[in-house]
Amino acid sequence: MGRVNADNDRLKEIARYFIVTALLSVVSLSQGLTGSMAALFLIAPPTLLYLKHDRLADAVAVIALVTITVFLFAGYEGVLYYAYEFAVLNVFLLLVLKRESKITSVIFRSSVYTYLAVFFVVGSLAIIYNVNIHNVVSELVDSTISEIAKLYKQAELDAQQATQIEAIYKSITDLFKQIYPAIIFIGLEVIVTVNLLVLNRFFLKENKKFDTRELLNWSPNENLVWGVILFGFLLFVKNDYAGMVAQNGLIVFLSIYFFCGLCVANYFFRIKKVPVFVQMTLYFALIVISGLKYVLIGIGLFDIWFDFRKIKKRTT
């Protein structure tokens, strides 16, 4: 009898997490801030199920059920959106969590595995069907921008405003077509980081699987600076593909130093006991204002030599 009750409770738990994930997947298909926020936390319910109960099979079952549900209601387009962007990442995150307890390793490895897996599948399909991946991405970006343009036209803007908006979106489109590999990788890391921090802070108060304070003391390997130097030199090679590789490589490496700069800023905020509201305001300014972004990247880069947080001194 006890076994039957336990199995029933387990099925109810899976059903609850499935319903929450399915609802998030539906909301994520909507446009605007609501859809973006729902998409950001799509991997949260299955991850929480695993972290709370240590049942990998149950978490994977939730992902599989949601994938089937999305296919039934949204067709191939919807299931590709969910599977490629979230289901694959979620499965790799769970597999890494089973082996790793260091949050930095979990973030990096799950993102890398997902990135390689998705590009392997997409690349294989491109070879089989003789399609250029870059052209496919360009078409997707163009179609997305055209849909946004239609919305602005429906807003009945005057000719000057419409022309200005069209020029802005064209420049964004051209830029994204060049740097989408880096943007995808950074996006994966951001999704994993935000979900783990939120789950650890608000849902795992009595059952911590990892220490998020590790992020505050994190510092990149000193040898990574050679990546910045290498891709910096590659920018001067007069070749379109070399330039694209250099741009994406620099964006990935500089994002690492940007995050390190944020960790340094957080360290001094805590030392000086800056109020939380002021901290949030400063973080927003540091992330949004372009000039301050470069300052943070510089701080993260020079932290290798100056050790602003005295990490090396504390560990020796």
Give per-residue pLDDT as tens, 90-141: 999 999 998 887 888 899 999 999 999 888 887 887 788 787 777 766 776 6
- Considering the domain architecture, whether residues 208 and 297 belong to the same structural domain is answered as no
- Considering the domain architecture, whether residues 70 and 189 belong to the same structural domain is answered as yes
- Of 213, 232, 259, the last residue of a domain is 213
Q: How far apart are CA 15 and CA 61, in angstroms?
A: 10
Q: Which domain holds residue 268?
A: 217-316
In the predicted structure, residue 1 carries a pLDDT above the cut 60 = no
In the predicted structure, residue 147 carries a pLDDT above the cut 80 = no
Per-residue model confidence (pLDDT) at position 92? 94
- Considering the domain architecture, whether residues 227 and 312 belong to the same structural domain is answered as yes
Report if residue 63 sits inside a domain: yes
Q: How far apart are CA 190 and CA 108, in angstroms?
A: 10
Q: How far apart are CA 81 and CA 73, in angstroms?
A: 13
- Kindly give, in sequence order, each residue whose CB lies less than 8 Å from that of residue 257, ignoring residues fewer than 6 positions away: 220, 228, 296, 297, 300, 301
Per-residue model confidence (pLDDT) at position 203? 82
Q: Of residues 279 and 138, which shows the higher confidence score? A: 279
- Considering the domain architecture, whether residues 122 and 232 belong to the same structural domain is answered as no
- Of 169, 194, 213, the last residue of a domain is 213
Residue 14: CB atoms within 10 Å = 19
- Of 196, 213, 230, the last residue of a domain is 213
Report if residue 101 sits inside a domain: yes
Report if residue 40 sits inside a domain: yes
pLDDT (mean) for 268-285: 83
Cα of 188 vs its chain's centroid, Å:
3
Q: How far apart are CA 17 and CA 52, in angstroms?
A: 12
H-helix segments, the chain: 2-28, 33-40, 44-53, 56-82, 88-99, 103-128, 133-154, 159-202, 213-216, 225-234, 240-271, 276-288, 290-306, 311-315
The structural domain count of the chain equals 2
Instruction: Give phi and psi for 155, each to the nearest 5.
Output: -75, -5
- Considering the domain architecture, whether residues 248 and 301 belong to the same structural domain is answered as yes
Per-residue model confidence (pLDDT) at position 154? 61
Q: What is the DSSP letter of 206?
A: S
- Considering the domain architecture, whether residues 196 and 290 belong to the same structural domain is answered as no
Q: What is the pLDDT confidence band of residue 50, given thresholds at 50, 70 and 90?
A: very high
Of 79, 287, 63, 101, give the one whose Cα is nearest residue 190.
287
